[in-house]
Structure 1
Amino acid sequence: MPVMTARSRTEKHRASTPLELFFDLCFVVAVAQAGARLVHAVAEGHALTGIGSYAAVFFAIWWAWVNFSWFASAYDTDDPLYRVVTLVQITGVLVLAAGVPRAFDAGDWTVVVIGYVVMRLALTSQWLRAAHCTQDGERRVALRYAVGISVVQLGWIAMLLVPAESRGARTAAFVVLVLAELSVPALAERDRSTSWHPHHIGERYGLFTIIVLGETIAAATVAVQEAVYEQDALGELLPIAAGGLLIVFSAWWIYFAVPIHDYLRGSREAFIWGYGHFLIFGSAAAIGAGIEVAVEEAVGKAHVPDTVAAAAVTLPSALFLLTVWALHARHFKRDFAEQLSLPVAALAILACTFAGGWAVFAAGLVAAATVAVGELLSRRPAVAG
């Protein structure tokens, strides 16, 4: 068995591998399932319940992806054993995706938890392999990860024993287990950091953002296509389609406006930045679900007011802008005017909620204007002193 040792943080030309890209694409299957059920819940007038279930499912998807990506940044050996274990993790997310409809519709999380535990235990075996091949502090970090992940998985399995009717108890258990999951990296790396690569991590998160935004475009396209075919409602749908495209294009532009690897200098910055991407990924995927809801409302298939359908787009769009600003854009702004652009844009997009059938198009125009303003402000000469 080849030795699994840490890769250098200063390694040149550290890029995502074909296996990592395949891993991302398979995870988007689960994201698509969660988005589809969110559309159904909101369109049927169960927005709060749907959002709660969506957040829970998305956490499982996101957290498994995050843990794999950071481990791979430090220990990717790309040998046969590593590849096989990664494929097992992919199998786990496909099992999770298969359980998403039942989790949303019937509150039965058994299949979702099984898929999640498969992913997490597969990663545990990777950490045990790293511990076997390393020594001293590096070995202790790997063992802490392996033990921490394993213990929390026992908690997820135990949660299934709580009766589905006891929603309060299940919700409390879920929150505790989420906090436990989030604490494992901080505890494992409390006195020594793994050798994750800043450029590689920045690229990995950027690629997943692109894939999620691409899934948003695909979902919205299918919704518009079906509505046009079934309802011949092109006039009502063109503003939604145009606005949705402007929002997604602008989201891509804004996210990649700064070279984030220059900011990821240590574990403290990296943890905050990495954890915060739960909101970036989740809101990006939810934009697509919101566009689907807006389409269904426009053709009379969704049983919700037009403001609710508009909010399904404007709320995640505003959240995306605010989170991107808070996590890394603000660290590269030169003055107050540049700092204000994204927060003001987020508020303006929220105000578009009340623009009736033109809400999505208006939000798209605001997003596009935000990009234009940002470009103009960034091209000004720097003020001396």
Structure 2
Amino acid sequence: MKRQSSLSMVTYDRTIRRRRRSIGVGDLEEQLLEDKAVLPLELFFDLVFVLGITQTVALVVAGHDGQALGRAFLVLAMLWWAWTQFSWTANAIDLHAPRVRFSFFAAMGAALIMAVSVPTAFEDGGLWLALGYVGVRGIGVWLHISGTTDQVMLASVKFFALVSWPGPLAIVVGAFLEPPARSWIWLLGFVLEFAAAGLAGGAEWNIRAGHFAERHGLIYIIAIGESIVAIGIVASGKPLNGVLAATMVLAIAGACLLWWSYFDRLGETIEDALREAGNDQGIVARDAFSLGHFPMIAGIVLFATAAEEIVGHADDPLGEFTRLLLALSIGLVMLAQVGTVKRVGGPLLVERIGAAAAVALLMLPAIEVRANLMFLAVVLVLAAALVLERRRDPLLPQG
């Protein structure tokens, strides 16, 4: 109880500091109740997805080619969309009821089946992955419908349930097919899922902006945490020396910069946009969070994979596949952040576009450099872009 109380106070204090700039003291209590903090039940739920992200990194490392990369994106999309279902559901219902808690626990079981099935998703584990996905999605939709008391929003949830069933059905059907047909049908399933989100996002939704933003910020941190775990696992199997220590520090610096790119100012910018969206809250939540955050998470997962490769082969020339991973990782995170801020009416973050382009140029095969030195160059480019942006752009709120 003491630990939970401390967590609540930290969250409460952080929320007060964040709101004090924009609302009056008299409105503070009402605003806090409206937004509500992320609860321990949700953090507990996220632990299963830590394993899913770890398994996705392992899938890329094991295959070490374009096919493995494409398959990892499909699996990660499945994990992400299952998690996203509960980010919307938990935002709308009371999480304290025993029925809701046991439903979360059941969804964790389905998510664990998904995570464990990732390495064999394109072999004999495909059906288990699909069934776990359908289980998480189904429990989430049922909870959303049964727990929503706002009749207008209930109609929106029911509409989403009506238009979104073809996606999970296609994923189950795809599980019975052999690759590459399985990959194509699963891709079709996610096209259908995204189309359903497009249709339902225009309905009327009442989003608790503070909770929704914090929820996505926490999953962003979890993804970054995977890069730290990957670094530690690889490094622990090698004798520690100066080169390895320096490379680990570079990897941590890269992870810190990815954290900084989101939590310095960007996270609050999109949270404020969601809060002020009025009748368009559903559209902003869909575009800026459910869709906009996926390439960020995917980029961080690729960064973790690249960091694992570089720490393991710091003295070797940077391989072609690791070059691709680094270019894609920084490109996905930076460009997704640019697009998300622009989508909510913010400024064009040109420095981040420049960082993505510069890293892509550094990864050209003609430039052959040791892995750790190339990693240093990437970290310096990213740091320079974020420093220049902060000096130039006063439109984003200062932390």
Shorter-chain TM-score bucket reads: 0.7 to 0.9
Say whether the 8 Å CA contact 1:113–1:156 is kept in structure 2.
yes
Q: Deviations over 1:88-146 (max 9, x none)?
A: 11111110111111125x37412211211111121132134147x564x4443232233
Partner of 2:327: 314
CA–CA separation in structure 2 for the residues paired with 1:141 and 1:196:
12
Alpha-carbon deviation of 1:319?
Answer: 1.9
Instruction: Please state if 1:287 is matched with 2:298.
Output: no
TM-score (norm. length: structure 1): 0.83
Say whether the 8 Å CA contact 1:19–1:83 is kept in structure 2.
yes
- Letter of the 2:308 counterpart: E
Q: Deviations over 1:43-92 (max 9, x none)?
A: xxxx1111111101101110011111012112234211111111111111
Work out which structure has the larger RCO, using CA pairs closer than 8 Å and 6 or more positions apart in sequence. Answer: 1
| Residue in structure 1 matching 2:162, options 131, 147, 151 | 147
Instruction: Please state if 1:16 is matched with 2:33.
Output: no
Say whether the 8 Å CA contact 1:10–1:197 is kept in structure 2.
no
| Residue in structure 2 matching 1:75, options 77, 93, 98 | 93
Q: Deviations over 1:175-210 (max 9, x none)?
A: 2211211222333454x3221112211111111111
| Residue in structure 1 matching 2:103, options 71, 80, 85 | 85
Instruction: Please state if 1:198 is matched with 2:209.
Output: yes
Alpha-carbon deviation of 1:220?
Answer: 1.3
Instruction: Please state if 1:32 is matched with 2:54.
Output: yes
Say whether the 8 Å CA contact 1:280–1:320 is kept in structure 2.
yes
Percent identity at matched positions? 24
| Residue in structure 2 matching 1:212, options 212, 220, 223 | 223
Say whether the 8 Å CA contact 1:124–1:150 is kept in structure 2.
no
RMSD, matched Cα? 2.8
| Residue in structure 2 matching 1:366, options 372, 381, 387 | 381
CA–CA separation in structure 1 for the residues paired with 2:97 and 2:75:
31
Larger mean Cα displacement after TM superposition, 205-214 or 269-278: 269-278
Relative to structure 1, the CA distance from residue 13 to residue 73 in structure 2 (aligned partners, 3 Å threshold; closer, same or farther) is closer
Q: Deviations over 1:292-314 (max 9, x none)?
A: 122334477xxx96243233223
Q: What does 1:1-385 align with in structure 2 at a 5 Å threshold?
A: 11-42=33-64, 47-103=65-121, 106=123, 108-130=125-147, 135=151, 137-162=152-177, 164-165=178-179, 167=180, 169-190=181-202, 192-226=203-237, 228-229=238-239, 234-256=241-263, 257-258=265-266, 259=268, 260-264=270-274, 265=277, 266=280, 267-274=282-289, 275-298=291-314, 306-328=319-341, 339-353=349-363, 354=367, 356-357=369-370, 358-378=373-393
Say whether the 8 Å CA contact 1:14–1:199 is kept in structure 2.
yes
Mind listing any 5+ residue stretches in structure 1 that lack a counterpart?
1-7
Say whether the 8 Å CA contact 2:327–2:359 is kept in structure 1.
yes
- Letter of the 1:251 counterpart: L
Alpha-carbon deviation of 1:173?
Answer: 1.7
Say whether the 8 Å CA contact 2:234–2:311 is kept in structure 1.
yes
- Letter of the 2:140 counterpart: L
TM-score (norm. length: structure 2): 0.80
Partner of 1:3: none
CA–CA separation in structure 1 for the residues paired with 2:335 and 2:318:
26
CA–CA separation in structure 2 for the residues paired with 1:239 and 1:360:
11
